[in-house]
Amino acid sequence: MTDTYSVTAEFYDLLQATQFLRTAERLLDRWLGTPHVGILDIGAGTGLATCLMVGRSDVTVHAVEPAAGMRSVMLSRLAGRSELLSRVRVHARGLQDLGLSGVADFAWCLNTMGSLSRAERAAGLAALATAVVPGGTLVVQRPPAEPGAERADLPSWQLGGDLYSGEVACVPTGPELVEWRFTYRVARDGILIREESETFAGHLATEAEFAEQLAAAGFAPVGTDEPDVVIARRIRVRPATPAG
């Protein structure tokens, strides 16, 4: 379990849910199909997609989320809603430590792979391959290949007359490493009344490198989508891992 996202969890849904839900609904319309075994939501965050997937299926949705702050928001979202409580199982751990076998025929991982180092991605994808039954579908957003804009605004929203806004700054810190600094601001009558920041380590990977890692874990590509999403099928036999 981690205390990362301890600052971000407060602002995540307010600033980003509207945009994220539009993307998630479009991707689910296209790729979810009708799962019969179960669903895995990896890096489930505040549970936005988790709840969409409950509404669109009849199977258990496994929400995998290591950060306590994000899980707290997720549990609040589930609280008191029997249709969600009976169908979501929360796993308070990282993908690398998933430890589940054959629980899903649909897996989903958006906006998360960039938090994992190369070795963590390999371990995570191997754990995912064990958790997904052969023939199952994986919808995964690739880690970024490039550092991205030096600075970008997050969406902003009015709340009780206050303006909540945010920005993300990206600084390269090594050949495949970046640091993302998220700053959140609350302004009242045009005057800044709060500012909070949180910094995350990010890991870059080329498309080719990530494709190799998927293949090594036992996933064959079947399509692509936006933003930077790969659709892959869990193949029956995992390729032998090279020695060493």
Ligand X SMILES: C[S@@+](CC[C@H](N)C(=O)[O-])C[C@H]1O[C@@H](n2cnc3c(N)ncnc32)[C@H](O)[C@@H]1O
Residues at the interface with ligand X (CB under 6 A):
5, 20, 42-43, 45, 48, 64-67, 70, 94-96, 110-112, 115-116
φ/ψ of residue 84, rounded to 5: -90, -40
DSSP-assigned beta bridge partners for residue 40? 62, 107
Shortest Cβ distance from residue 207 to ligand X (Å)? 20
119/192 with CB nearer ligand X: 119
Find the angle CA(242)-CA(128)-CA(3) to the nearest 5 degrees. Answer: 115
Give start and end residues of each alpha helix (H) in 132-244. Answer: 207-217
- Minimum CB distance to ligand X smaller for 47 or for 136: 47
In angstroms, give the least distance from the CB of 189 to ligand X.
Answer: 31
Instruction: Give bridge partners of residue 174 from the DSSP assignment.
Output: 177
111/199 with CB nearer ligand X: 111
CB atoms within 10 A of CB 125: 25
Closest approach of Cβ 67 to ligand X, in Å?
A: 3
Secondary structure class of 230 (helix, strand, coil): strand
Residue nearest to ligand X (CB): 45
Q: Which is nearer to ligand X, 5 or 106 (CB)?
A: 5
**Number of residues in the chain:** 244
- CB closer to ligand X, 19 vs 36: 19
Rounded to a whole number of angstroms, the minimum distance from the CB of residue 202 to ligand X is 10
- Closer to ligand X by CB, 187 or 231: give it: 231
CB of 225 to ligand X, least distance (A): 14
Least Cβ distance, residue 196 to ligand X (angstroms): 16
* Cα-based distances in Å from 32 to 5, 25, 107, 136, 162: 28, 10, 9, 11, 38
Asked whether 124 and 97 are in contact (CB, 8 A), the reply is no
Continuous H helices in the chain: 8-31, 48-55, 68-78, 82-85, 118-131, 207-217
